[in-house]
A and B are shown apart, each in its own frame.
Chain A
Amino acid sequence: MSWQKERIDMNIYSQGEVDKWVYSTCNICSIGCGCHIAVKDDKIVGIKGNGQHPINRGRLGPKGENQWYANNSSDRLLTPLIRRDNGQLEPASWEEAMELIVSKARESLERQGSNSIAIYSTGQGYLEDYYTIAKIGRAGLHTHLLDANTRLCTATTEFCLLQSFGADGTPASFDDVDVTDTLMLFGHNVAETGTVLHERIMQRKQREGKPYIIAVDPRHTLTARHADLHLQLIPGTNVALLNGLVHLMIKNGNIDRQFVEQYTIGFDEMQQSVADWTPEKTSKITGIPVEQLHEAARVLGETPSMVTTTLQGTFQSADATTACVAINNMHLIRGQIGKPGCGPLHMAGQPSSSANRTAGGVGTYPAQRNPMNPQHLQEMADLWNVDEATLPAGPEKGIEEQLDMIEQGKVTFFWNIGTNPMVSLPNRRRARKALESIFVVVQDPFLTETAKVADVILPVALWGEKEGTMENADRTINVLRKAVEAPQGVKSDLQILIDFARRMDLKDKDGQPLIGYSTPEECFEEWKTVSRGRPCDMTGMTYDKLEQHNGMRWPANEQHPTGTPRLYSDYKFPTDADYSQSYTKDQFSGRALSRDEFVSKQANGKAILHATRYLPPTEQPNEEYPTWLTTGRLVWHWHTRTKTARSPYLQMAAPNAYVEIHEEDAAALSIVQGEVVRISSPRGWIEVPARIGTAVQKGLVFVPFHYGSWEGHESANDLTADFTDPLSKQPTFKQAACRIDKLRKQHIVVGEESADYIAEQYQLTVEHLLQANRLVTPYDIQSGQTLEVPISVVNAPIPPYIPQRG
């Protein structure tokens, strides 16, 4: 491992010694750091890193260290709420709330059939929750509308892996990052989204000078600043760049011909698709100088080992799945997969979004079963003891398609579990209108922005108050023990789901309750039988083993009793039609291929190289909206701040949204540092302070997406467009068109008014006043002159986070 020594990061607030430390896993990002929860007087009072856990050796990120404050927040929901006839949410008993949910679910089923019910869950729950959602949804309600906010963060990982390798599961792991010669961080701002992993990378870099780091990002992020080569491309041109790089690698002869012939199919078609992507054409479209393209292709083509990571810069961009498939192509043609230090490592955003994919709460059927394969559905029917005919088949629908269905009156019951879509969905006002029109259940510890559309709210337990497992970005399954009882009046997600199944009288073929387990561990034991023989086989795991080993990567079974650090080391890929998780999709349109079409490819255990056709972003700057808008994350906050805004430390670090503007663009508009400006898009507008610098390129602005109060006018998703990737159906948050407008008053200079005097009247500095009016000195101000005065200037510093603390 890369860590030379442990370092126990700790954040406790306790008078006197804590009573106990409870084994757990961080519930923030997808790295999956091991930790222990401090408990005193039956309350969570802190956290410390687990020094034995190989992923972090005791380190924690800033959000991880502060996540526990939310548990003790005074605004926790402690009773269900029901929206009454007066339009208000009012407290109700669990009995009344659950009976209302059940009656509405029954009504929806009777009136409009199974697919009138949608369950939209999360990437922050536990595997046991997701598996139960899959079972209740598919075998109990027979709905095919199971989705999650993982659609917004990690769907592309799944679908690019299905396309190239036949099954989900990222091939490389963090162990490979530790030994690779070259690390390409493609749209992955790891310094802010996965601080512990970044620290792990940089510690080795400082020690050994390796890996050579290539960062691909339109912004000059903290990650890019630590890179050896930053490819600062124009937004929405990921596939163009990759096509250009693969073109050069082929031209330079950097192909492992033997590997391609023995272990892949589709090379000719793939080669043809990049044939005209010359460096000149690539440079013109991506904005990257030809010399940089040659240098990147040389490094990638000659390096003895390479890991490529991807995250939202790839997943939430135009051509998301095709870009990730192009990365898979690159690894395959170089034979750099299945070997130490080699392979694509498509990340996940949330701590357990991978578990949701694996368990079948979203996407395909549990344990990577193909929803278009009758044999797989028969297996599920046998495992669940239900009739196969009742299990819905075919490709899934993403959340944006579900909103379409709501607008068409086809979905009437929406169950929202552990996510805040009214802040996180693109073009959120459209989503709000849709959800306001139907019956919505919200399961959350807090009254979030999504409460606005809720008909029933169920208060749920948080991390530390329940037991279960999570899967991180590199297939590691970690266990989380229960540290304290949930507050009185609060239930766990799993308890609610089981209660719902009981009240709905969901039964198997023999009339037995469909959900036969009552605890997370019993659920996990059932799940293990479902996973048997599948790529994600977990039959070798138990809760105790997961704790003893500090996590295990699937598959973990008799053949691999301690787990599998790296997939495909035998170069056998799960592309046999009977076994694969998908018959794949058309790489351009996203159409699901039939079994016959898939069989005709004759992959049969070989990886699949695909043609990668570039399609420009759907929305681009234009006359009315001349600027690129991109959105993203800050190191200090997690998603919609439901938890992190309840930590005083994190909230103080980044209390408000802002817009990042390039200094030349700001100068051209005479916008001053901190000036509140209006950013408009065809969907809406926000008013936020400007942070002027060089982190964004010219012509691009960046707005963090964490802030979304309905009153605040600072929600990035009032601006974003709800277009999606054709294959993964992941929204393209990273590219939209917008306009910057100044918000100014006018001041007519009277008599001898000085610059100092005028600036003071408006609480501005003289420097800002001059800058806003393109004046050089205070003496340029003349009587009778009309000055522009910014309506507000706000100091919006974001303190830097220094992850390399030694």
Chain B
Amino acid sequence: MRVLNARRVGAAVLATATAAFMTGTVFAQEMTMWVRDGTAANAGKVLVDLWNESRPDNRIELTVIPNLQMVTKLATSIAAGEPPDLISLDLIYMPDFMKADSLVDISDEAAENPNFDKVIDAYKDISSYEGRTYGTGFAPDVSVIAWNKDLFREAGLDPEKPPRTIYEIHEMAKKIAALGDDTYGFYFAGSCPGCNIFVTSPLMVAGGAKILPRDGEDTALEGEAVKEVLQVYRDMWTEGLVPESAETDNGANFVSGFTNGNVGIAGTGGFVIPLMESDFPDLDYGVALLPGLEEGQVSGFVGGDTIAIPRGSKNEELAREFINWVLTDEAQLEGLAKNGILPVRADLATDNKYFADQPKVQVTAEALKVGYVPWVFHFADMVNSDASPWINMLQRAVFDGEIDEAIEEARERMIEIAGE
């Protein structure tokens, strides 16, 4: 998802990046792996380093691919018969690649290795097609809601109580925006399709809505929560609770919108927690599950990357071995958790020495369990592209105020795309 492309993430990992790019080129390669730019690149780097340390003869050469080029490069390389041996890709594209028989079936590994079953459900779900398994979780991410405790205090709100419904978001945002001209209640990146499927759609899903259609016969954007959420966004926009720059933010300020410190509430991802720690240690904030229409309704969008073997891999056996290894305690704990990255195994996600005293990380682990991931084809077309029905709906509804028409138009277009 584009949301992970947020360039701000880079600041935290620039140092490791330099190291990655040194090690990546100095040694001869045994196996190649592509990872997309963003959080997954960080996970890929620490895991590959750990693997390479102990296996000098089976080294993996990791290549970071620009986010926007990833699916194209992968598809053309598979079509050309020269794909990398391993691929860490945005989980949302799994259905397209599985349906096209572009990934290697690893059902045998999944059946033999008990660790496969311990992986967070969303990743198991998105990695299987017609009863077969084609991959597993690699670098998890999930959306949560973040609130600025200092601003909550200033506005006379309880800094330990996050909003529990979208209506509460609105109420709280009003109070915070009243603090001054440069203070805003809420932020979202209004021109970023990926950011909003990540943080806005779970508000709808928590409220009981269904967003994306699985095929041309399916329903889309069903449920009152779709309209309710858009209405609340619209109201917050017209009341000036959201900075004007939000309308044109294509994701560049998805993270900094909140980290700047003048916004009360914003949807964000688990990946900001290590970033905040390193870059904004003074900002007092909290994270919670994204709410719905009523108290107790919660959800999140499970994002991040899955790992799979492209059809045509020259080192299939070794690649299978790597995937098995990724799910071991060693990789999950000493690779991911130790470096502040969430493990993909549900049994280790929070129950480990690195995260035991990190309440915020515990929240994201919880979100991973309750969160959803849409199992659909044509996600790029339907959601992620700059001209998608999803972002068009959001923009038309929030900035133009034509909520019903916007939903209707997007629904038709989504079902049309799903039917292709």
Partners in one complex: no
Binding site for B on A (CB under 8 A): none
Binding site for A on B (CB under 8 A): none
